[in-house]
Amino acid sequence: MNKFMKHQKLQFKPGSFRLNGLFRVVFLICCLLSAGLTQAQEKKITAEFKDTPLSNVLKQLEKLSTYKILFTYDDVQSYKVTVSLKDATITEALQKVLDGKPFVFSDVANGKYISVVYQPKKKSDTTKEIKGKVVDSKGETVIGATVRVVNATIGTATDIDGNFTLRVPENVTTLEVGFVGMKTQLVSIKDKTEVRVVMEEDNTVLEDVVVTGIFKKAKESYTGAVSSISSEQLKMYKGQNVLQTLKNIDASLNFMVNNAMGSNPNNVPQINIRGNSSLPMSVQEYNESIKNDVNSPLIIMDGFEITLEKLMDYNDDEIESINILKDAAATAIYGSRGSNGVIVVVTRQPEAGKLRVNAEIGMDIEAPDLSSYDLLNAAEKLQLEKMAGLYDTDFPGNDVKYSERYNKRLKAVLSGVDTDWLSKPLHTGVGTHYNLRLEGGSEQFRWSGALAYKNVVGAMKGSSRRNFNGSIVLMYMMDKLTFKNYTSYGMNRGRESRYGEFSTYAQQQPYDAPYDENGNLVRYFDGFQYNNLDKQNPLYDASLNSFDKSGYQSLTNNFSIEWDIIEGLKLRGQLGISSTDNSSDYFLPAEHSYFTTGDQKAEYATDEGFFRRGLYRYGTGREYSYSGNVTVTYNKTFAEKHLLSVGVDWSLAETQSRSYSFELEGFSSEDMSFLGNARQYMKDGIPSGTKTSTRRFGLTGNVNYIYDGRYYVDLAYRVDGSSTFGSDKKYAPFWSTGIGWNLHNEQFLQGHPVLTTLRLKASYGETGSQQGSSTGASTTYKYSTDNKYMNWNGTILQGWGNPKLTWQKTDEFNVGMEFGLWTGRVKGEINVYAKKTANLLSNMDLPLSMGFSSYIANVGEVENKGWEASFSGYAIRNPERRMNLMFSGQLVYNKNKITRLSDAIKAQNELYLQEDVDVSNLFYEGRPQNAIYAVRSLGIDPSTGNEIFLDKNGKITDTWKPSDKVYLGSKDQKYRGNGSIMFMWKGLTVNVACSYYWGGKVYNETLLNKVEVTKNTLSTQNVDARVLKSRWFQAGDVTFFKQLSNTQTRATSRFVMDDNVFEISSIGVQYRWDTPWIQKYTRATSITFGVNMSDILHLSSIKMERGTSYPYARNIQGYIKFLF
């Protein structure tokens, strides 16, 4: 970028001279001419040029001076200039610009013209030999690096050891060393015969290019909203898996809080970008979480689609970069799959050179975090039961029984029984991970192979997730052709804890001892005479041979060929084939308490039911898919100022899947856990399965034009076809258009002392979503196995099809600004967006005479509005001392609103209210999707201890009615953000990152389930310590919680609270040791030690138990890396 400053013209004011006659006139004319000449010569020039064509430099000097500079374009076109000018005269400027180049410039002619003439230097009669070695920043030799004399054809290339020998003329003082993907180095050879050149990776190449998964786009002319994440960031913010790492880095990825699953390593999180754009088919589906992926973004890895789970299990050391595409300008090229956003993953490519080995070994620790739990101890719990009157009775005959029960428990408490049940299913999980990568080859043929194993041992005993990944990449470059083949294999094995849900242990009574006097497990605890129930010891179930495990294995092969037809014109073809097999096994032995408790207790209590005890659920499936695409791109610069980029992509894909499942029963012993030992299929049950096939194709066009590096336009158009939708709507168009303005390239901002980059952009477009299955579009039959006619299977309608069913479409408008200050010392970006999704898939009511209650139609609309702001910069940047102090921050705002609903969902809302179904999530037009509905509360009446409400008309009442529920807020956080600070000094790197959110609401389930409990609940489980301090016990008590009774608290505004959270999400410390001593005695180029910690601290505005089914845990990873 050229930089210059405007200076005031030097004013020459001749004084008064007492001269007479002609002499005075002549002297005055000479002074005026001298003043004009001095003014022209003395106009100072400040500019900076970096690798700029000489022709452009001369034109720029012409603008900054008062001279017309004459030159022949053919003579100067092959020369480039890198020079810094400050307060230089035109003569000084030309001397520096033309230094070392075969040009001379003429004297000033009449103060108007300067002529630059080509004058080749005479060849030196003497030469000298220069020897050298070229290495990268890690000390590895660089094979095939070009070494040449600046502005000459004399050159050579480094050999297999990175060495070179070059004979140059005696007067040559500088060599230029270059290599693909690295910064070109200018090396001084003045008075030298041997040099060592250290090459640095050219990160600007990544920063200046946006990889969209189909086309590569220049950052300076890209109108889409995108977040780019480098491999270095992935290493420094490392979490339990890749998705957790992304959460630590980018707040624009909204990870839905799952308070039940906590840090369960087998849980795949729910993610959305810029809010929810889709709705479940019904209110029931939403509340039961039947389908939780309708808003998940599309995942593309090296041009091919993968699942969110596979990304979670992928080895992050094999990822080069991740781009998050957010708006229509960025995602329109994906058409019907782009409305939820796109995450584009680019894996590492092989590097040329001699064999390089990267090895890593590490330890992963999962330490349970129970800081949110505050339960009563044994003495407090027994005291509370006594205060609540649980040992009092109106029947004299029960006095002895009640007293015996109380005295027995009191004796246990006095003897020291105070069981810490929370610790029983937990431990500090210690896992390991290993990575090995080998790569090498020449510039023509490169290869790499990688193996990775990771075993995450969860905080609950017995829970784990093991991943194995292996890949081989082969690249061959021949003339203008590049062949690449990527083969990968992945295997996953996940196991849930046999200890069951963590909430079971949080409910256990602290005065119950799990073992008897002889150290044997107690199977049942004495029940409470109040409700005449015995309680199962959960540790007994945990001791049995039960299991809940699942896994998959996948094999993928992606092949691509790229042809550089002519300069600027490329043709690329890709073909990918993938196969995934999955399975799940769930086994409960006959001795398990499942068969003696709950609603199914009576079923298994009969003689027949006794022999049916023991359960095995088995599921298996396979998914096979192929996809291919052909892409043509053309880039051309016209008349120096016009840059045109055109791309066309044609793609097709097919996915076939099938799955089977069945349930077996009658396993008489826990040792009989093999399927073949079953007595029979589940009573009245038969095997079941599904088989689906979907096909799609798309044609995409993209045009990008930029004028003079300042004004640009970006257009995209795609037509998609899919078998998922109706015969009348199999094809649909999607498009986007964007414009931008690089203000920093305008003359009035060039050379600005503060503002380095200022880019404005705006875009509008339409994308789609393929939520739904083909059965929604087509009237489909299935074979009936439940009912037979004369032993023959019949067919029945599976669903009523809608031939007009089409894609959900999302219209999105985005306005953005990017800025850079102080030559990149501070960077930032702001985007404001509004998007509206129409044609939402939803159930529509049908007359009863049709035989189906509903069918799927395009009814419903949702809108999201918000903004995103991010910044990063250097507080300290000292290359000489190798010291940097960097900071970054991000803040995101989003508001979601449902603008239209189907009549079926509206009717379901009303049905839930009429039938007193207590669900907090209902859908209403004008409200967010994740809205909270409850009855407004005025608090607890001090005289009675009962709750007082406001009905929907604003009248005071002591009766709770579901029809009085009103909107009380959204579970979506209005604001989310993160911040980080990173310090780097020589080989040491320290990073601390935090995250925060506020503006949302949450229904505090802890207050409902652990504080404001009924007497019956109090008799069967432990409770929160706030019960002793904050509940109403007598008239006059002013409390937040009502009196103890057997009336269950319903959805009330008392428990709806502000959800404001601050977390220290990640701390990373790394030290890289690459001294000569290491290289000499270990033969390693470098050794790196590191520790990463995540989920370190959680501060919240509410006190609520976190991790109810599976606890949260602090993740700590230590590792050591070797580079050979």
Query: Which among 255, 269, 273, 247 has a CA at the least distance from the CA of 340?
Result: 273
Q: Alpha carbon of 315 to those of 289, 299, 400, 450, 989: distances in Å?
A: 29, 15, 65, 10, 22
Q: Domain for residue 160, yes or no?
A: yes
Can you give the pLDDT at residue 359? 95
Can you give the pLDDT at residue 10? 34
Whether the predicted pLDDT of 770 surpasses 80: no
Two tokens at 434?
Answer: 């290993």
Two tokens at 283?
Answer: 């209110």
Whether the predicted pLDDT of 396 surpasses 90: no
Q: Domain for residue 52, yes or no?
A: yes
Q: What distance in Å separates the CA atoms of residue 52 and residue 624, rounded to the nearest whole number?
A: 51
Domain boundary among 201, 233, 257: 201
Can you give the pLDDT at residue 358? 92
> Which range scores top for mean pLDDT: 548-562, 678-692, 849-863, 949-963?
548-562
Q: Binning pLDDT at 50, 70 and 90, where does residue 771 land?
A: low
Q: What distance in Å separates the CA atoms of residue 547 and residue 523, rounded to the nearest whole number?
A: 19
Whether the predicted pLDDT of 222 surpasses 60: yes
Same domain, residue pair 30 and 82: yes
Domain boundary among 118, 137, 158: 118
Which contiguous run of DSSP H or E holds residue 355? strand 353-368
Give the chain's radius of gyration (CA, Å): 37
Whether the predicted pLDDT of 291 surpasses 80: no
Split into its structural domains, the chain has a count of 2
Residue 998 exposed, middle or buried by CB count within 10 Å (0-12, 13-18, 19+): middle
pLDDT tens digit sequence for 509-559: 999 999 998 989 998 888 765 444 568 899 999 999 999 999 999 999 999
Same domain, residue pair 186 and 140: yes
Can you give the pLDDT at residue 5? 34
Neighbours of 153 (CB within 10 A): 6
Same domain, residue pair 31 and 109: yes
Q: Is-contact 918 1051, C-beta < 8 A?
A: yes
Same domain, residue pair 153 and 136: yes
Domain CATH code at residue 33 = 3.55.50.30
Q: Domain for residue 136, yes or no?
A: yes
pLDDT tens digit sequence for 820-867: 998 878 999 999 999 999 887 766 555 545 455 566 777 788 999 999
Q: Is-contact 303 560, C-beta < 8 A?
A: yes
CB hemisphere CA count around 780 (13 angstroms): 16
**3-class DSSP state for residue 970?**
strand
pLDDT tens digit sequence for 885-894: 999 999 999 9
Q: Going by DSSP bridges, is the β-strand pair 1041-1043/1056-1073 parallel, antiparallel, or unpaired?
A: unpaired
Same domain, residue pair 88 and 39: yes
Can you give the pLDDT at residue 397? 72
Whether the predicted pLDDT of 23 surpasses 50: no
pLDDT tens digit sequence for 1096-1108: 999 999 999 999 9
The arithmetic mean of pLDDT across residues 973-982, rounded, is 94
CA dihedral 644, 645, 646, 652 (to 10 degrees): -170
Per DSSP, 964 falls in state G
Can you give the pLDDT at residue 479? 84
Can you give the pLDDT at residue 622? 96
Q: What percent of the chain has pLDDT above 90?
A: 46
Same domain, residue pair 113 and 136: no
Same domain, residue pair 197 and 138: yes
Q: Binning pLDDT at 50, 70 and 90, where does residue 598 land?
A: confident
The arithmetic mean of pLDDT across residues 218-246, rounded, is 87
Q: Domain for residue 1093, yes or no?
A: no
E-only strand ranges, 822-860? 826-838, 841-845, 854-858
Can you give the pLDDT at residue 262? 92
Same domain, residue pair 27 and 107: yes
Same domain, residue pair 88 and 26: yes
Q: Domain for residue 1076, yes or no?
A: no
Two tokens at 937?
Answer: 């509360």
The arithmetic mean of pLDDT across residues 45-69, rounded, is 84
- Lowest mean pLDDT segment, chosen from 75-84, 260-269, 392-401, 690-699: 392-401
The DSSP string of 616-650 is EEEEEEEEEEEEEEEEEEEEEEETTTEEEEEEEEE
The DSSP string of 555-617 is EEEEEEEEEEEETTEEEEEEEEEEEEEEEEEEEE-TTSGGGTSSTTTTTTTSHHHHHT--EEE
Can you give the pLDDT at residue 180? 58
Domain CATH code at residue 160 = 2.60.40.1120
Q: Binning pLDDT at 50, 70 and 90, where does residue 1053 land?
A: very high
Q: Binning pLDDT at 50, 70 and 90, where does residue 1115 land?
A: very high
**3-class DSSP state for residue 1072?**
strand
Task: Give the residue numbers spanning the domain of 137.
Answer: 127-201
Whether the predicted pLDDT of 653 surpasses 60: yes
Same domain, residue pair 108 and 160: no
pLDDT tens digit sequence for 84-121: 888 888 888 888 888 888 888 775 545 567 878 777 65
Which contiguous run of DSSP H or E holds residue 332? none
Q: Which strands sit side by side in the sheet containing 319-325, from one edge to the other?
A: 226-230, 319-325, 342-347, 298-301, 304-306
Q: What distance in Å separates the CA atoms of residue 134 and residue 354, rounded to the nearest whole number?
A: 13
Question: Cα 485 to chain center, whole Å?
Answer: 27
- Greater pLDDT, 745 or 489: 489
**Residue type, position 31, single letter:** C
Same domain, residue pair 41 and 73: yes
Domain boundary among 185, 201, 217: 201
Can you give the pLDDT at residue 528? 66
Same domain, residue pair 156 and 112: no
**Mean pLDDT, all residues of the chain:** 84
Query: Which among 326, 323, 330 has a CA at the least distance from the CA of 345?
Result: 323
Q: Alpha carbon of 1056 to those of 385, 913, 1004, 1017: distances in Å?
A: 28, 19, 6, 22
Q: Domain for residue 180, yes or no?
A: yes
Q: What distance in Å separates the CA atoms of residue 381 and residue 386, rounded to the nearest whole number?
A: 9
Q: Domain for residue 728, yes or no?
A: no
Q: Binning pLDDT at 50, 70 and 90, where does residue 572 land?
A: very high
Q: Domain for residue 84, yes or no?
A: yes
Q: What distance in Å separates the CA atoms of residue 1013 and residue 43, rounded to the nearest whole number?
A: 85
